[in-house]
A and B are shown apart, each in its own frame.
Chain A
Amino acid sequence: NAGVTQTPKFQVLKTGQSMTLQCAQDMNHEYMSWYRQDPGMGLRLIHYSVGAGITDQGEVPNGYNVSRSTTEDFPLRLLSAAPSQTSVYFCASRQTMTGGNQPQHFGDGTRLSIL
């Protein structure tokens, strides 16, 4: 079972460049989300989706866009990279939409550096 697959694993960008972080899951999960992890700050929610065609903002959405055209895929786009977006990005999925009472499955992460 692949679970949640993120690509790339590492990326270095220059300020102002754009890129897309890919996330795919093969568990038919309705709920998918993107987090960023910075030292001492835990995991902060960027955007989430409760199904194909439905997305919403999380805690720190500025500078990021998402779309959900299929159940499996949930890409995260950096529009114009800034050094403050240097972080480790995790994609996660879980089985149900409501209640938050299902465990989240995380991908291996993308380590992104913005110069």
Chain B
Amino acid sequence: GQQVMQIPQYQHVQEGEDFTTYCNSSTTLSNIQWYKQRPGGHPVFLIQLVKSGEVKKQKRLTFQFGEAKKNSSLHITATQTTDVGTYFCAGPLPTDSWGKLQFGAGTQVVVTP
């Protein structure tokens, strides 16, 4: 079955530094979504990528969808303490007409002031 994998599992970042987290699927995805979950909170939708090679930016966050639509990345520049949380990617199961999402295990981000 489809596997959605995220690396790294943990990311310790000094405030002000940049980092990237990666999402890889074993199958081609029709789209990919990214969510952020603050500690003790619930996942909140950030963005959706649909087109091959698509790049979208939200302030200091840059999201990219791979050319083969099997991988995606989230790059955060000038990390701030507000970026603390777990970032999940999710893709719809390819054989499912209802578009059930499979979530990656997430990248937990810790920011050191």
List chain A positions with a Cβ less than 8 A from chain B: 31, 33, 35, 40-45, 48, 50, 58, 90, 92, 97-101, 103-109
- Count residues on chain B whose CB falls below 8 Å from chain A CBs: 28
**Set B42, B93, B98, B105: member contacting A108, Cβ < 8 A:** B42
Which A residue's beta carbon lies closest to that of B43?
Answer: A106
Tell me which residues across on chain B come within 8 A of A108, comparing CB atoms: 41-42
Complex alpha-carbon distance, A40 and B100, angstroms: 20
Q: A42-B105, A106-B44 are in contact. List 4 more A-B contacts (CB 8 A).
A: A40-B105, A104-B45, A104-B101, A109-B42
Tell me which residues across on chain B come within 8 A of A40, comparing CB atoms: 9, 105
Complex contact B9–A100 (CB within 8 A)? no
> Would you give 5 A-B contacts (Cβ < 8 Å), ordered by A?
A48-B100, A100-B30, A101-B30, A101-B92, A104-B43
B20 lies within 8 A of chain A by Cβ: no
Tell me which residues across on chain A come within 8 A of B9, comparing CB atoms: 40
Q: How far is the CB of B2 from chain A (nearest CB, A)?
A: 11
Complex contact A90–B48 (CB within 8 A)? no
Please provide the chain B residues from 64 to 113 with a CB less than 8 Å away from any CB of chain A in the complex.
Answer: 88, 90-93, 96-106
Tell me which residues across on chain A come within 8 A of B106, comparing CB atoms: 42
Complex alpha-carbon distance, A43 and B50, angstroms: 22
Complex contact A98–B97 (CB within 8 A)? yes
Q: How far is the CB of B87 from chain A (nearest CB, A)?
A: 11
Complex alpha-carbon distance, A109 and B41, angstroms: 8
**Set A42, A101, A107: member contacting B103, Cβ < 8 A:** A42
Known: A98-B98, A99-B30. A42 touches B104 (CB 8 A): yes
Which A residue's beta carbon lies closest to that of B50?
Answer: A101
B14 lies within 8 A of chain A by Cβ: no
Please provide the chain B residues from 1 to 35 with a CB less than 8 Å away from any CB of chain A in the complex.
Answer: 9, 30-31, 33, 35
